[in-house]
Structure 1
C-alpha cells in the first residue's frame, strides 16, 4: 500500500492537515482497489495547527516516519506560518534522503519554501500560493517560480498553490496513480456532498482496471449505454451463461449485472450534466434511461438529488473555485477603456 507522508511544521493551516485524509480516503471508499496510508509526521518544533481555527494534533510519527518510505511513496510538505524562518533541524536531510530513495516529493502553498531550502528545486519549476510567489522567487532565485499557483510537476517534485488545503495537488497524485476516471469521481464525491451510497451501491461503475476478466465486456457495455441491454446480451458478449455472468459480476464489481449497468448510466448522466447544456430528455435518451421521469427517479435514488439541482450545484462549485480573470489595462493601440 503506497504511503502519503504529510510533513507537518508548526503553524500548519488546519485544512492542510485534514484534506489529505479526505481526498485519499474518498478515493479508497469510492474505488475498492484504491488504497493509501496517510501518515502524519511532525517536524521538530511542531506544536499545533494554526489558523483558521487552531487545534492540537496528535502525530504518531516524527521525521522517522520518512525513514521507511520507498520508491512509489510520497512526502508532502504542508504549508506553515513559519516558512520565512527556514526548515527545522533534520528536515533538509530527511527530504533529500527520501528523494534519493525514489519518493515523490510534494509541497503545498508555503511548504514550497521548505522544499526550496533543500536545494532540490534549484533549476526546476515550482509553484506556491499566488500571494507568496514573488517572495519565493526573491528568497530562492535558482527556482523558476510559476506565478499562477497551478500544480507544477518537475521530475519527482509536485508543488501547488494549496487551494482548499492542497486538494488540487492530491487529486493530481490520484490521477497519476489511478487515472482520470478515479480522480474525477473522487472530486465529485468530495465536493458535491451528494447522497452516501448504501453498502450495495458503493462500487465503482467506471472503466475497469487492467486485469479484470470482465474488462472487455464492461468496456463494451460502457460504449452502448444508450441502447437497450439485457442479461442475455451481456452474457453473450462475455461468453458465459446468465448465471455465470451474475457470479462473475458479483465477484469483480460487487454488483449484479443490471445494477452495475444502471449505475454506469447514472454516472454517464452526471458527466453529461456537468459538461453541457443538453436538456434532461436528451440525457435520458443518451444514457438509455428512456424518459425524463425515469432518469429523475433513478438519479434521485443514487445521488439523493435531482438532475437540475445536481447541474446547478456543480456549476456553482466550478464558479467558486475559478478565480476571476483579470482584464489587462488597454495598451497602445488597444481598445479604449470603458
Structure 2
C-alpha cells in the first residue's frame, strides 16, 4: 500500500504529550517500516510555545494540508476560544477535497468550530462533554466512547484514547499485524474498541437533608443483595410509598432501583479485582443471575466483567 501523507497540526500553547502521541504512531516508530509520511504543520504564525514553555518550529504551515491524506488535530488550548479563521478554512478545504480529518481529545473542538461535525457523531474527553454539547448542539456527541470513526471524520477522547484511535487508523491502513507490532513497541494494548466506554468516575450522591433517607442509604449499603420491597423500605422510614420515592429521588437524583443498580455495579468492580467469580458476585450482590450481572455491567461500562478485570488488574 502507498504511504499515506499525514499533516499533524501544531498550535500555539500546544500540549507536548498530545502532540507526541500521533507523532509516535505516525512518525514511523517501526525501524525499517515507512508506514506514513508525517509532516508537522504550523496552524498559526510562530514561534509556537507549548504549555510547558517549549518552543517548536514546524516544517510547514497550513499549506501542508493541501496534499495530506490524513489531517490530525491533536489538541486545542481552550474550549471557549474559537480557532483562527485561516485554520478553520484550511480544514474545510482539506475535508472538501477528500482528506480524512482526525480530532484527538480537545482537537474535536477545532473540527466542531469548523462546522464539520454538524449532524455527525463525535467523541471528546468526558470532562468537557457538557460544555461541548452546549456549544455544539448539532453534533451527535457520544460522551463515553473512546473514539468514533465516521469515515472521513474521526474523533477521540483524551490521553490514552488518542493512542487507541491512532492505532486504529494504523490498523485500517496497514492491517492488524503491523498495528500490533507497533503497539508492542510502544508497550500498549494492541486494540481497544472505540465503542468501549471511557473510564469515568461517577460517584453516587450520598444523600440530602432528610436524616431518614440518609440513614436508609447507610443501611442499604450493608444489604445490597436483599434490600426489601419498595413498600417495606418506605415503611422503614415511616413514609408512604409515594412520599418515599419522591424524597429518595430528591436526595440522590436516582430512583431506588437505579441507585441499587449503580451501587451494586460499583461493588462488583472491587470484587472483580479481588478475584471473585462473576457467578459469586451476582449472588453476593443480588443481581438475580450471572446473566443479569453481565448484561447490566456491559450496558453501563461497554465491557464485559472479564474485559473490565483484564483492563484494571494490577492497577
How does 1:70-85 map onto structure 2 within 5 Å?
Answer: 73-85=69-81
Give the 3 Å change call, closer, same or farther, for CA 157–2 of structure 1 in structure 2: same
Q: Which runs of 5+ in 1 are unaligned?
A: 193-273, 276-321
Secondary structure in structure 1 of the residue aligned to 2:256: coil
- The CA distance in 2 between the partners of 1:182 and 1:35, in whole Å, is 9
Q: Which residue is 2:277 aligned to?
A: none
Q: 1:16 aligns with which of 15, 18, 23?
A: 18
- The CA distance in 1 between the partners of 2:79 and 2:203, in whole Å, is 32
Secondary structure in structure 2 of the residue aligned to 1:38: strand
- The CA distance in 1 between the partners of 2:257 and 2:97, in whole Å, is 55
Q: Contact 2:21–2:162 (CA<8 Å) still a contact in 1?
A: yes
How does 1:38-117 map onto structure 2 within 5 Å?
Answer: 38-51=38-51, 53-69=52-68, 73-117=69-113
Q: Which residue is 1:35 aligned to?
A: 35
Give the 3 Å change call, closer, same or farther, for CA 19–121 of structure 1 in structure 2: same
Give the 3 Å change call, closer, same or farther, for CA 173–50 of structure 1 in structure 2: same
**Alignment deviations for residues 180-204 of structure 1 (CA, whole Å, 9 cap, x no partner):** 2221221111026xxxxxxxxxxxx
Task: Tell me how far 1:27 sits from its aligned partner.
Answer: 5.0
Give the 3 Å change call, closer, same or farther, for CA 324–86 of structure 1 in structure 2: closer
Give the 3 Å change call, closer, same or farther, for CA 9–324 of structure 1 in structure 2: closer
Task: Tell me how far 1:331 sits from its aligned partner.
Answer: 4.1
Greater relative CO, 1 or 2 (CA 8 Å, sep 6+): 1
Task: Tell me how far 1:140 sits from its aligned partner.
Answer: 0.6
Q: Contact 1:26–1:189 (CA<8 Å) still a contact in 2?
A: no
Give the 3 Å change call, closer, same or farther, for CA 333–78 of structure 1 in structure 2: closer
Q: Which residue is 2:309 aligned to?
A: none
Q: Contact 2:88–2:113 (CA<8 Å) still a contact in 1?
A: yes
Q: Contact 2:103–2:154 (CA<8 Å) still a contact in 1?
A: yes
Task: Tell me how far 1:66 sits from its aligned partner.
Answer: 0.7
Task: Tell me how far 1:159 sits from its aligned partner.
Answer: 0.3
- The CA distance in 2 between the partners of 1:17 and 1:102, in whole Å, is 24
Q: Contact 2:22–2:163 (CA<8 Å) still a contact in 1?
A: yes
Secondary structure in structure 2 of the residue aligned to 1:323: coil
Task: Tell me how far 1:28 sits from its aligned partner.
Answer: 3.7
Q: Which residue is 1:189 aligned to?
A: 185
Give the 3 Å change call, closer, same or farther, for CA 55–164 of structure 1 in structure 2: farther
- The CA distance in 2 between the partners of 1:107 and 1:170, in whole Å, is 10
Superposition TM-score, scaled by structure 1 size: 0.55
Superposed CA RMSD in Å reads 2.8
Q: Which residue is 1:290 aligned to?
A: none
Secondary structure in structure 1 of the residue aligned to 2:101: strand
Q: Contact 1:5–1:76 (CA<8 Å) still a contact in 2?
A: yes
Q: Contact 1:7–1:43 (CA<8 Å) still a contact in 2?
A: yes
Superposition TM-score, scaled by structure 2 size: 0.58
Give the 3 Å change call, closer, same or farther, for CA 47–138 of structure 1 in structure 2: farther
Q: Contact 1:11–1:49 (CA<8 Å) still a contact in 2?
A: yes
- The CA distance in 2 between the partners of 1:49 and 1:158, in whole Å, is 26
Q: Which residue is 1:6 aligned to?
A: 8
Matched pairs, number: 206
